[in-house]
Amino acid sequence: MNKTKKTLKPFELLNYHMDLKIDILQFLFKFPRFLNGFLFFLRPIYLKKETAWNKRFRWLFLVLGAGKADTLELKAMSHALYAVTDNFFEVKAAKKNREKIVWVEWILNPEICEAFDLVSFNPEVLNVFANSKGMEYPPMIIEAAENQGTPIENCSAQKLAVGSLILEQIPKPSLILGGSHPCDTSISIYQTLEYLTGAPSYIMDFPYWKDEDSYRYYEKNTWELLSFLKKETGKDVDWDKLKTLLDRVNQINNYLREICEMSRAKPCPSSNSLLALAWAIREVNLRSPHMLSMVKAMHQLVRKRYEKGEGVVKKEKLRILLWFPPIPFFFYYFKWMEENFGAVIVADFIGYVSTVHIDTSSKETMIRDLAISQMHLAMGRQCHGPMEFITDEMLKLIDEYEPDCMIFSGHNGCKHGWAGLKIIQDICRGKDLPVLYLNLDIMDKRHTSEEEIKKQTITFFKSHGWA
């Protein structure tokens, strides 16, 4: 742990996203053709694997599409980057000015903080974004948490929050908003975080079912949260601000839902990597107007292809359903399959959007629908409840998206998923759907590396005559 501490200065990973290179990148986004050419030209030095000297840029270059992204895709990513860095700057300023910072657990979106004009921060943020400095950072942070006693079996995504706190990579919270979903790790780690930081917490108790009683209970939790924030901050709810944000959230969800709908077309006009990215940006800074701009650009791109009957790859050979969370350290997995095998992930666990419309006509409807829509956010909606919450959606997507196969990204942390594996297997067998069962840690490349994932995928494709 001491060794790890020496290698990271306080807030080094957040600061990494707030310096000149980000400005340069944002500048380059204005010249997408040039940016693509640049990324394409440099491919030989970073595409295949991470090395000691390409590690500072490889992950980011791959996320940017490695020189093959559409102009609109780059536009979407530019907004994504703004949304993330804006939040980091806000947090930095809040820290400096001693303003309150509210940690919001990653499956709870920060809409309510907008109503109180409070700075929100997602403590799990480095599970994705630490990779931009080098893929060794997430494991390093995880190790710091484990070395202090965080259970090894906890989900690495949340061990990252503990590790980031221990290594002083994230600002301490004034308040914490945690939830009893999506899994035991969350239940456990949010107690740890409250203990370590001493910050008062409010726990949103996520109901097991999705029925009227459950929705009402969650709605009451949301009202109680408002009282908690009022009490802790001395501020009052700014309903107009909340309405403005929720109207925008409705637009965001509409665009995303339409993209999901269009993805059913053959060939599939959308790369699901963008939908997965949108989920991550939503976690970090749904409040930023850039989030809407991002999904607008995505929508424009997919719509353009859809109307022309074009796919995301020239010749779509294989349609894949990715079930369970995507792999942040190998985010390029989507595009790697597209490029090398004409294999397109047409739907996935995280990117698929099924939130409800929020009626913003009154305070009551806003809180009611906000609560319900939170219960439909990806990961939370599937993982917390009976197995049908996972399998019914999986079946729906199998029927609607007609995949040729499924990849089960079996994340170590998701023990509730592993406990239902037989059910998933039986359903897929019944549907005659070939499945690749990966056993990995989505945040920790030490468990199953990028090379290993590629190898297993190729073997799977070959065994079915797809490669």
User: Which residues does residue 177 pair with via DSSP β-bridges, in sequence order?
Assistant: 104, 202
Q: Quick check: 412 binds another protein (CB under 8 A)? A: yes
Judged by CB under 6 A, which stretch of 168-176, 177-185, 294-302, 329-337 contacts ligand SF4?
177-185
Which residues are CB-neighbours of 46 under 8 A, at least 6 positions away? Answer: 54, 57, 58, 61, 62, 66
Q: Quick check: 155 binds ligand SF4 (CB under 6 A)? A: yes
Interaction mask 131-170, another protein, x per CB under 8 A = ---------------xxxxxxxxxx---------------
Report helix angle 71-96 to 32-41, nearest 10: 90
Q: CA 366 to CA 457: how far, in whole Å?
A: 44
Q: What are residue 177's phi and psi, to 5 degrees?
A: -115, 105
379 binding partner (options another protein, ligand SF4, none; Cβ < 5 to 8 Å by kind): ligand SF4
Report 395-424 residues binding ligand SF4 (CB under 6 A): 411, 413-414
224 binding partner (options ligand SF4, another protein, none; Cβ < 5 to 8 Å by kind): another protein
Residue of 19, 23, 117, 205 interacting with another protein (CB under 8 A): 205
Which whole-number Å values give the CA distances from 232 to 46, 93, 174, in the listed order? 48, 20, 9
Report 275-334 residues binding ligand SF4 (CB under 6 A): 325
190 binding partner (options ligand SF4, another protein, none; Cβ < 5 to 8 Å by kind): another protein
Q: CA 7 to CA 448: how far, in whole Å?
A: 24
Tokens of 46: 């970073």
Q: Quick check: 150 binds ligand SF4 (CB under 6 A)? A: no
Q: Is 178 helix (H, G, I), strand (E, B) or coil?
A: strand
Q: What DSSP string describes 265-331?
A: SSS----HHHHHHHHHHHHHHTTSHHHHHHHHHHHHHHHHHHHHT--SSSS--EEEEEES---GGGT
Q: Quick check: 192 binds ligand SF4 (CB under 6 A)? A: no
Q: CA 318 to CA 321: how far, in whole Å?
A: 10
- Number of residues lying near another protein (CB under 8 A): 50
Which whole-number Å values give the CA distances from 271 to 251, 267, 334, 344, 365, in the listed order? 21, 11, 7, 7, 34
Q: How far is the CB of 276 from ligand SF4 (least distance, A)?
A: 13
419 binding partner (options another protein, ligand SF4, none; Cβ < 5 to 8 Å by kind): another protein
Name the site residues for ligand SF4 (rule: CB under 6 A): 155, 157-158, 182-183, 185-186, 325, 379, 383, 411, 413-414
Name the site residues for another protein (rule: CB under 8 A): 1, 146-155, 178, 180, 183-185, 187-192, 194-196, 201, 203, 205-209, 213, 217, 220-221, 224, 386-388, 412, 415-416, 418-423, 426
